[in-house]
Structure 1
Amino acid sequence: MSLCIIGAGTAGLCCARRAQERNLNPTVFELSHQIGGTWAYNKNTGTVNGIDVHSSMYENLRTNLPKEVMGFPDFEIGADRKSYLPSEDICAFLNQYADHFELRKFIQFNTYVIRVVRKKLKWQVIVKNLLINTVRICYFDNIMIANGHYHTPNYSQIKNANLFRGEYLHSHDYRNSEIFQGKCVLVIGGGPSALDLSNIISKSAKNVTLSHHLEGISKSIFFENVQTKPDVKELDENGAYFVDGSYTKFDTIFFCTGYKYAFPFLSVTSGIYVEENYVQMLYKQCINIRNPTMALIGLPFYVCAAQMMDLQARFVLSYFCGTNQLLTQKEMFEDTLESMEKKWQMGYKRRQAHMLGTTHVMHIFKAKNL
């Protein structure tokens, strides 16, 4: 069986390791020149040679999860007096993992996946070597997509956003706080990045206003020149009106509003589509129901990522290699629709389709003999 893996980050590496464990020799296509995926820092932003920069890593980032829950099931992050590590330590850990299991021999670096198309019971993968500018076509029996989901910015829609004359920036393109020197900055978002970056940029900015609608965010966690506001009602040329009736002028609006799932290389016939950030149709959040020789690894969030990805890799490969037998397409559709209906009844939105957390993470996989 021939196997293609797209991406050499956390997900792609554990896919390669588990494939090798089953005596497969996977081909891993990696866009960058190094291992690490989202943990590999790239000072560039925007596009380079016509290709969007994948990394969203910024300087001095530390993990918001303790290292004790960030390792793989059988390859933990080494002992350290700190639990919350800088990003370069996580990247170094992934390199150690790759070296320990001798995974580099499977990885083709500086390789851009242009297109993935289903052709005559095979996956046709068109790739470009970015170093020598050549294109080639490869064919595989199975494919595991592990390109991450922190690379395509999501922007909130704000009334009259076109009127604002200041600067816009998304956290995807943020690298350090120098660009905010002496400026009045509006940060939009209520997630970990928004909270973290509000404090970080406040060391350079004149003042920072964090706009969000979440409850329970204490003012005590912010520096003195950071204030909080409710949602933005609308913008004008110079600033923002908030839903509480207040108005403030800003130089820059900084979106920390998360990311969208995106698979620009997938053909429309792949069987995968994304609607309101809900990737469909997937059996157990990973197997492409319409074309079950394809799997998407690492979509769920609010999880212990490496542990979950390793479990997904073993789960998927048990079917690819015939250890387990899949349900019929009809049965997989019914199972998925039933599980998603439970989430909708609990009040989840479509954009939260892949949010697991404590309610779901223990129940996503029911398969045996992985």
Structure 2
Amino acid sequence: MHADNKGARSIAKRPSRVLHAGRFPHNFLFIFSKYKKMSSKKRVCVIGAGMAGLTALKNTLEHHLEAVAYERHTAVGGTWIYMERKAGESEEDVHSSMYQGLHTNLPKEVMGFPDYDFDMNIEESFISSELVLEYLENYAEHFKLTPYIKLEHEIIRVRPCGEGWEVIVHDLKSDKYFVEFFDFVFVCNGHFTTPMYPDTEGLDSYQGKRLHSHLYRTPDIFRGHNVLVVGGGPSGIDIVHHIHQHAEHVYFSHHLETEPRTDFMPNVTQKTDIQRFTADGAIFKDDSSASFSFVIFCTGYKYTFPFLSVDCGLNVDVNWVHPLYKHCLNINKPSMGIIGLPHQICPAQLFDLQARFVLAYFSGHKELPSRADMLAEMETDMQERWANGVSKRVAHKMGVKQFHYYEDLAVTAGITKLKPVIGKMMKACSKKYIFELDTYRQKRFKVVDDENFVQIV
């Protein structure tokens, strides 16, 4: 394990939930126990029905295991569902970070799952969030997943029980709680729900309005205002692009090694990292200053698993979830898979690959290495990351390492690899949002075969 582990914390039980025994039918456990003995199939719980949860469910069923997916919202789609913040809701109550007008920063030709393409009648490659959501709904329908998905069901607690798992579920429609038992668990709750803020000097003294990109929805509220956008990731750059036509002036604070091209946005000024906030603005590390009435933090998210009990065997140290084998299998409890932690990846393709990797072991088709060997491999991987300057905040970042990661998952588990054309298109589109923000979404691509693609426009 990494030696500097002072900030580690165990994943705690959710303390605010109280289960009322009177809500359980007196013969519930007997009925379930009888059913369990009659069933020869192993049971799998899938937490979430977003992009990761849907492919985990689909692949589980194809491995001839029983499965049920629990989704706390009213529809499938996860972060691709547009949601407004309601009165009284906290930031974390708003599951989705989707904002109006969002278009993908990857072409649809690599955005889909490997066995289900986007509608070929869609001409654009960089498509709207609504079309991605429609694709996920069609995916669920095509693979007949709907009967296995329980909407408006929230997972309250997951804890080890014998060789399997006890799962407490809250049926939000009936406001009743029930207990299920599973042999395996897929955690697919996403990681764009709990905002992460910087600990910058003077922030409490800043008198203007502040929000996280998680709650950004439309640009019109910034009309006539000076705005500071903090963070140079894809969402930060895209939000700068979204709001510059409405704001009086946009200051863009980041520490990217290469400055994004913003000359086509004359009212955007790039700034270094913030040294400290003032009452009406900020002083930056180059000693320049600016005044603004809004600040938007595009500073990432925390990985949180509020439903996992302390004895699930996982720790979260800042944003490093461990111990995990290949960033997705719980080493202490290898009947639990975590899908979707890596970032700077090709999402649907990775989620599908991770699910198939984990299922190779859940199904018994592949035998796991020893716990000691899995821990040693994780340690080697993480020590290399720390040595290369990767912080715990981005411990699961892949970037250019993603292609090696895809290959490693497939070879290790003996499963089908990603098509070579996926990697080629990803590399061709890399960093376009930095250098060609004003034009790159106009490009169109076509997959010729498993190896090749062409750019049409």
The question of 1:308 aligning with 2:357 is answered no
CA contact (8 A) 2:92 2:193 kept: no
Question: 1:232-277 deviations in whole A, cap 9, x for unaligned?
Answer: 1111211111111122111111101111111111111111111121
Task: Name the CA distance, whole Å, in 2 between partners of 1:34 and 1:58.
Answer: 18
Task: Name the CA distance, whole Å, in 2 between partners of 1:349 and 1:222.
Answer: 33
Task: Name the CA distance, whole Å, in 2 between partners of 1:315 and 1:51.
Answer: 30
Question: 1:194-221 deviations in whole A, cap 9, x for unaligned?
Answer: 1110121222222111111113223435
Which of the residues 334, 339, 343 maps onto 2:381? 339
CA contact (8 A) 1:272 1:279 kept: yes
Task: Name the CA distance, whole Å, in 1 between partners of 2:91 and 2:392.
Answer: 32
CA contact (8 A) 1:7 1:31 kept: yes
C-alpha change, 1:144 and 1:15, in structure 2 (3 Å) is same
Question: 1:122-149 deviations in whole A, cap 9, x for unaligned?
Answer: 2111121222211112111100001111
In the alignment, structure 1 segments of 5+ residues that lack a partner are none
2:235 counterpart residue number: 193
- Describe how 1:162-311 pairs up with structure 2 within 5 A: 162-220=204-262, 222-311=264-353
Query: Secondary structure at 1:90's aligned position in 2?
Result: helix
The question of 1:367 aligning with 2:445 is answered no
- Report how far residue 222 of structure 1 moved: 4.9
2:11 counterpart residue number: none
C-alpha change, 1:56 and 1:192, in structure 2 (3 Å) is same
Query: Secondary structure at 1:195's aligned position in 2?
Result: helix
Q: Runs ≥4 in structure 1, deviation > 4 angstroms?
A: 45-51
- Report how far residue 50 of structure 1 moved: 10
Which of the residues 106, 113, 129 maps onto 1:72? 113
Residue 41 of structure 1 aligns to which amino acid in structure 2?
Y
Residue correspondences, number: 370
Which of the residues 87, 98, 103 maps onto 1:57? 98
Q: Based on CA coordinates, which of the two structures has the bigger radius of gyration?
A: 2
- Report how far residue 349 of structure 1 moved: 2.2
Residue 326 of structure 1 aligns to which amino acid in structure 2?
L
- Describe how 1:345-364 pairs up with structure 2 within 5 A: 345-363=387-405, 364=408
Task: Name the CA distance, whole Å, in 1 between partners of 2:386 and 2:264.
Answer: 35
CA contact (8 A) 1:45 1:173 kept: no
Residue 113 of structure 1 aligns to which amino acid in structure 2?
I
The question of 1:17 aligning with 2:58 is answered yes
Question: 1:169-209 deviations in whole A, cap 9, x for unaligned?
Answer: 00101111122222211110111111110121222222111
Residue 61 of structure 1 aligns to which amino acid in structure 2?
L
Question: 1:316-342 deviations in whole A, cap 9, x for unaligned?
Answer: 111111111111211111111122222
Superposition RMSD in Å: 1.7
- TM-score normalised to structure 2 length: 0.78
Task: Name the CA distance, whole Å, in 2 between partners of 1:345 and 1:119.
Answer: 38
- TM-score normalised to structure 1 length: 0.96
